[in-house]
Amino acid sequence: MPEILTSAQMRAIEAAAIAEGSVTGLELMERAGAGAAAAIQAEWPEARDALILCGPGNNGGDGYVVARLLAARGWRVAICATRTADRLPPDAQANAQRCAALPILGWSAENLQDRLTVADGPLVVIDALLGIGQTTDCSDLLAPWNTANDHFANLGHLAPHTVSLDVPTGYESDSGALRAKAPFEPELVVTFHAEKPVHQMLRNQGVKVVVVDIGLGGESA
């Protein structure tokens, strides 16, 4: 049976590994992003267009890693970010700066809509907005995405593939409780080291969950 960790347990494992010097937060972010990029490419090998939604914390930092690595593999990548790099935590900021050559757009329905309509083939939208720390309502944060996605669908375009990193934005990791009126709806969730309590509920809804090993030991699969 796969290991299931609460958000507090996951944070404690990461903090202990960093404190003992076996890994840095930046290295964990790189491993998480690399595993997610590989899982996305394996799931949709024909896709070459990605839109990454990068949030204000380390989940957003994971998204920047995915963006950089997919671009290095020949994907056409654009990022819509809720914050500028100078307002991010240190590790996420470092990875945002590494993406300086990629299109990084402000967080608005108009920018999202523009990027949704320029894909020349299968498009993958990657939710790296919020991760395991969601406890309050994030409907306002998601509003630009939901507006753009609804407009895109109304134009008759083929729906993009959707991925969430760690936990879909709009869900609480430990309880599965909704934290948005209209949460992000992924086809695939890529989580790190171990499953979280929310993932079984998502599986029951037909969402595929992939666990990526980020080198913390234990029973990651």
Predicted confidence (pLDDT) per residue in 145-154, tens digit: 999 999 888 8
| Token couple for 207 | 């969402």
Quick one: CA dihedral 147, 151, 154, 158, positive or negative?
A: negative
**Does residue 82 fall inside a structural domain?**
yes
* Per-residue tokens: 185: 């709806």
219 found inside a domain = no
Which residues, at least 6 apart from 34, have a Cβ–Cβ distance to it below 8 Å?
A: 65, 69
Q: Give the chain's domain count.
A: 1
Q: Two tokens at 38?
A: 């590989």
**Residue 44 class from Cβ within 10 Å (0-12 exposed, 13-18 middle, 19+ buried)?**
middle
Nearest partner of 125 among 112, 134, 137, judged by Cα: 112
Q: What is the CATH number of the domain that holds 100?
A: 3.40.50.10260
- The answer as to whether 70 is a domain residue is yes
> Quick check: is 129 in a domain?
yes
Residue 191 lies in a domain: yes
Structure tokens at 204: 């029951």
* 124 occurs within a structural domain: yes
Residue 1 inside a domain? The answer is no
* Structure confidence by residue, pLDDT tens digits, 119-172: 778 899 999 999 999 999 999 999 999 999 998 888 777 889 999 999 999 999
Q: Please say if the pLDDT value at position 220 is more than 50.
A: no
Helix residue spans in the chain (DSSP H): 7-19, 25-43, 58-72, 90-97, 109-117, 139-154, 198-204
* Domain membership flag for residue 152: yes
pTM given for the model: 0.96
What is the span of the domain harbouring residue 29? 7-212
